[in-house]
Amino acid sequence: MTRCIALLGGSFDPVHNGHVALGAHFAALLQADELRVIPALPWQKSSLVATPDERVAMLQLAFAGLPCKVTVDRQELERGKSTYTIETLRAIRAEVGPDVSLAFLMGADQLQRLNTWHDWQSLFGLAHFCVAARPGFELDAAHIPPAVALEFQRRLAGPAELHAQPSGLTYVAADMAVDVSATGIRAALQRGLEADSLVPGVVLDYIEQHNLYKN
């Protein structure tokens, strides 16, 4: 049977319950053999609060309880410069070979900007794309750019098909909204507000111990 690896990228500054729910949902849905979490080095490095090592440590704590294998992939951090998603997908594809199913996970907000990503149409030759969307979210021009809607619509498939093929398909989970914002969490922590419902407890403990996100 084809191996399936779910890929979840982001700044994770900090990782929150929305990230964990997104990874867990699609890992189960796709019956993934591995969930690979990829912390990014954003274009504006100064916008990050936690160091790369702190973000990796928080990710390892947050995802430790998942039933599938979880790997924190440091490749974007180790490049030391901002990276396009297509470069990361090419590196992973070269590592795992042509037959493994790769499923890149994203929120609806990322889908709405997909046509601004570098060489975005070539991404489908490297991986599937799975989107977590709010109930009622539609693949139409009112929600996402027409070129993206067209590409997504013609590639729509079920979870079993995504697992069985290496790349090129799309899936929209219309019942899997991720409404938690890392920016909002940082603001709450700076103001000394409770974030227990937003961030895994083990991550909150780490934040407290390392005095992160304080004024």
CATH code assigned at 24: 3.40.50.620
Is residue 159 reached through a cis peptide bond, with omega within 30 degrees of 0 on the bond before it?
Answer: no
Tell me the mean pLDDT in the region 69-80: 94
User: Does 135 reside within a domain?
Assistant: yes
Range of the domain at 148: 4-209
- pLDDT tens readout for residues 28-67: 999 999 999 999 987 655 678 999 999 999 999 999 989 9
Residue 55 lies in a domain: yes
Residue 202 lies in a domain: yes
- What are the CA-CA distances from residue 161 to residues 92, 174, 179 (Å)? 20, 18, 28
215 in any annotated domain? no
- 183 located within any domain: yes
| Residue 214 counted as domain residue | no
In a domain, 41, yes or no: yes
Mean pLDDT of 73-94: 93
Least confident of 135-144, 165-174, 183-192: 135-144
When pLDDT is averaged across residues 107-136 and rounded to a whole number, the result is 89
Mean of pLDDT values over 109-129: 94
pTM: 0.92
Residue percentage of the chain with pLDDT more than 70? 92
pLDDT of residue 140: 66
**pLDDT exceeds 60 at position 162:** yes
pLDDT at 46: 63
- pLDDT, position 136: 64
Q: What is the pLDDT of residue 65?
A: 85
| Bigger pLDDT: 190 vs 179 | 190
Confidence of residue 78 (pLDDT cuts 50, 70, 90): very high
Question: Quick one: pLDDT at residue 188?
Answer: 80
pLDDT digits (tens, 9 = 90+) for 130-148: 998 765 666 666 778 999 9
- Total domains in the chain come to 1
Torsion region of 192: left, alpha or beta (phi above 0 gives left; psi -120 to 50 gives alpha) = left
Work out the pLDDT band at 158, boundaries 50, 70, 90: very high
In a domain, 47, yes or no: yes
- pLDDT at residue 85 greater than cutoff 90: yes
